[in-house]
């Protein structure tokens, strides 16, 4: 019997004891005198019996009830992440929303600048072409972010340049098709036009899979167990862009990382009145402080005698973007010329598009988590994939030279600020478009040293990876099946891409090296993505290594997501993901 039930029963019987008639001394003496078995010692002890009974009753009344079991209990799973200041549908006040939107713009600017800075010189472009390409990527990112937040998943996801497409762009650049072009600028334009044609064709893959609902059927088999390695490696898999970038200029990158952590996580506990200020605007504060510090080092001549690589990483005036950028320029489609189409390059870029599709699926789940939204239904993820295909198409039309996907660093910024408002990200899209047109102003922010950006990556990628691990709260971690799938998929997700990347770095080409460059890219690119490999292994094992019984289903955590697998299964789903302007009436989700 439960101790608490026993305790309650004793309390119910207590009045019955209190109402019992006390035994008098005279009656006891008469009974004892008539009994030959009663001893004289008992007669002398009887006067104390009444007092003894009353004392026992008082002790019983004052005794505490037996405590419940003190065994530690696990934290209950949460379908929505708690302690979020502003969720997806609750925007902050306009002044605060504008500052937070500008902060998102600063964060996405890192990747926007790093990729063209690495590719344009190898293509033959100058600072003028680099500035124009950065403007184009910013302009397209603003348009695609607005489309995704309004018509796509409606999550606060920034759609920017993706590293997944870089290997194929480099392959096109090294193909030798334009080696006979003497003018470097002309060679740059032809290379961009070749990537345009490949991106336009590759965009059809995500458009078809997304809008046809085919990707929805794939996502339906996803469980928290298979999603955890996917989302986790979307963040942790980008570790090469973190501290290795900080170490390129350690005297700037390391202080930037330390100051960011101090402001965002320690200052709110030291300065009680500015708790939200330090946590929400840590990026602006830390970037401003370290950028000013780097500026003083630059004008003080600290890097005048250093190597070229050190100067390019540390100096604040190394890019030449400010002088090369035009004051006002509006990017337009086919600004570099008509696209050039090649079948092999199109297939290679299509495989990169498929890898980006898988990675973005994990990024969408991470964004929904940090926006304090429920799990997006498969139909919503499929809709977002379709609009991401449109984003790749727009990138190809404008000639960005690189494809688009969900910005992982901006997903991590949602976790740092605890602000998952859709309006904030839409405001950041406005900043992207505004500063892409006003080239000089945009170039000023683009001159932030790369180690400062890498310091931000260390925190944001870690947050996204941790968001993937948080999905394990729905799974049974005492199951050997769960431990096998989780550990094996993460291990292969790190080990296989490490082999492919090391082989490429040492020999200059991937493990698959045939005479067909396009075929090499179709195999080497997907196996170089940690999130793609780990996510696919987890998905394959989770969908094949299970019996159709309730215990395995609960071990996978599938029962937690059942209500979100249909659009009408939970009232919160329509609140978060319904299309605006009553469009959901004309385009209802399946």
Nearest-angstrom CA–CA distance, 3 and 217: 51
What is residue 55's predicted lDDT score, i.e. its pLDDT? 54
Locate all alpha helices (DSSP H) within 212-299, ordered by sequence. Answer: 214-219, 224-236, 243-246, 250-261, 267-270, 275-280, 282-299
449-508 tens-digit pLDDT: 999 999 999 999 999 999 999 999 999 999 999 999 999 999 999 999 999 999 999 998
Q: What is the pTM of this model?
A: 0.86
Residue whose pair of structure tokens reads 């929505």 in the numeric block = 80
User: Is 347 part of a structural domain of the chain?
Assistant: yes
Nearest-angstrom CA–CA distance, 125 and 261: 38
Residue 286: pLDDT over 70: yes
What is residue 566's predicted lDDT score, i.e. its pLDDT? 84
What is residue 44's predicted lDDT score, i.e. its pLDDT? 41
Confidence of residue 65 (pLDDT cuts 50, 70, 90): low
Residue 43: pLDDT over 50: no
Burial, 398: exposed, middle or buried (Cβ in 10 Å; 0-12, 13-18, 19+)?
Answer: buried
Confidence of residue 447 (pLDDT cuts 50, 70, 90): confident
256-280 tens-digit pLDDT: 999 999 999 999 888 877 778 998 9
Residue 582: pLDDT over 80: no
Domain range for residue 470? 94-474
DSSP 8-class letter at 377: P
User: Is 355 part of a structural domain of the chain?
Assistant: yes
Residue with the larger pLDDT of the pair 66 and 440? 440
- The helix/strand/coil state of 404 is strand
* CA-based torsion, 240, 362, 371, 369: positive or negative: negative
Residue 58: pLDDT over 60: no
User: Is 12 part of a structural domain of the chain?
Assistant: no
328-337 tens-digit pLDDT: 999 999 999 9
Cβ count near 254 (within 10 Å): 16
92-136 tens-digit pLDDT: 999 999 999 999 999 999 999 999 999 999 999 999 999 999 999
User: Is 557 part of a structural domain of the chain?
Assistant: no
312-348 tens-digit pLDDT: 889 887 667 888 889 999 999 999 999 999 999 999 9
User: Is 328 part of a structural domain of the chain?
Assistant: yes
What is residue 556's predicted lDDT score, i.e. its pLDDT? 92
Overall domain count for the chain: 1
User: Is 489 part of a structural domain of the chain?
Assistant: no
What is residue 69's predicted lDDT score, i.e. its pLDDT? 52
User: Is 180 part of a structural domain of the chain?
Assistant: yes
User: Is 247 part of a structural domain of the chain?
Assistant: yes
């Amino acid at each position: 019997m439960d101790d608490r039930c026993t305790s309650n029963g004793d309390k119910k019987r207590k009045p019955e004891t209190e109402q019992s008639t006390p035994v008098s001394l005279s009656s006891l003496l008469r009974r004892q005198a008539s009994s030959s078995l009663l001893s004289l010692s008992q007669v002398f002890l009887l006067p104390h019996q009444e007092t003894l009974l009353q004392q026992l009753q008082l002790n019983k009344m004052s005794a505490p009830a037996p405590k419940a079991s003190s065994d530690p209990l696990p934290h209950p799973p949460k379908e929505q992440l708690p302690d979020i200041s502003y969720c997806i549908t609750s925007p902050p006040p306009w002044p605060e929303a504008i500052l937070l939107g500008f902060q998102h713009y600063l964060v996405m600017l890192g990747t926007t600048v790093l990729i063209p800075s690495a590719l344009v010189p190898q293509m033959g472009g100058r600072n003028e072409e680099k500035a124009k390409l950065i403007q184009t990527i910013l302009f397209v990112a603003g348009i695609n972010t607005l489309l995704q937040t309004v018509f796509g998943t409606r999550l606060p996801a920034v759609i920017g340049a993706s590293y997944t497409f870089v290997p194929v762009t480099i392959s096109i650049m090294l193909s030798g098709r334009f080696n006979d072009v003497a003018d470097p600028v002309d060679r740059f334009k032809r290379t961009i036009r070749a990537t345009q044609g490949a991106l336009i064709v590759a965009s059809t893959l995500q458009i078809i899979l997304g809008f046809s609902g085919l990707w929805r059927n794939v996502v339906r088999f996803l469980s928290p167990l298979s999603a955890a390695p996917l989302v986790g490696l979307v963040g942790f898999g980008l570790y090469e862009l973190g501290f290795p970038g900080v170490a390129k200029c350690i005297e700037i990158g390391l202080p930037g990382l330390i100051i960011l952590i101090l402001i965002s996580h320690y200052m709110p506990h030291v300065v009680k009145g500015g708790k939200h200020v330090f946590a929400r605007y840590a990026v602006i504060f830390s970037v401003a402080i370290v950028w000013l510090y780097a500026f003083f080092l630059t004008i003080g001549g600290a890097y005048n005698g250093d190597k070229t690589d050190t100067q390019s990483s540390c100096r604040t005036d190394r890019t030449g973007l400010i002088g090369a950028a035009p004051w006002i320029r509006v990017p337009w489609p086919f600004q570099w010329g008509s696209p050039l189409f090649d079948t092999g390059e199109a297939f290679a870029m299509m495989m990169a598009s498929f890898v980006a599709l898988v990675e973005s699926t994990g990024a969408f789940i991470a964004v929904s988590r940090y926006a304090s939204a429920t799990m997006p239904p498969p139909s919503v993820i499929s809709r977002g994939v379709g609009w991401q295909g449109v984003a790749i198409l727009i990138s190809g039309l404008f000639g960005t030279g690189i494809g688009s996907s969900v910005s992982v660093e901006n997903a991590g910024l949602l976790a740092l600020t605890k602000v998952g408002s859709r309006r904030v990200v839409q405001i950041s899209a406005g900043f992207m478009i505004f500063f892409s047109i006003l080239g000089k102003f945009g170039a000023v922010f683009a001159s932030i040293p790369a180690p400062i950006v890498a310091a931000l990556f260390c925190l944001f990628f870690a947050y996204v990876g941790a968001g993937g691990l948080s999905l394990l709260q729905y799974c049974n971690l005492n199951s050997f099946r769960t431990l096998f799938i989780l550990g094996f998929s993460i291990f292969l997700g790190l080990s296989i891409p490490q082999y492919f990347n090391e082989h490429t770095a040492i020999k200059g080409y991937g493990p698959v090296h045939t005479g067909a460059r396009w075929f090499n890219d179709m195999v080497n690119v997907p196996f170089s993505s940690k999130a793609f490999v780990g996510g696919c292994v987890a998905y394959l094992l989770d969908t094949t290594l299970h019996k159709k019984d309730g215990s395995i289903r609960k071990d996978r955590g599938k029962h937690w997501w059942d209500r979100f697998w249909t659009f009408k299964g939970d009232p919160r789903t329509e609140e978060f993901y319904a299309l605006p302007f009553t469009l959901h009436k004309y385009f209802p989700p399946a």
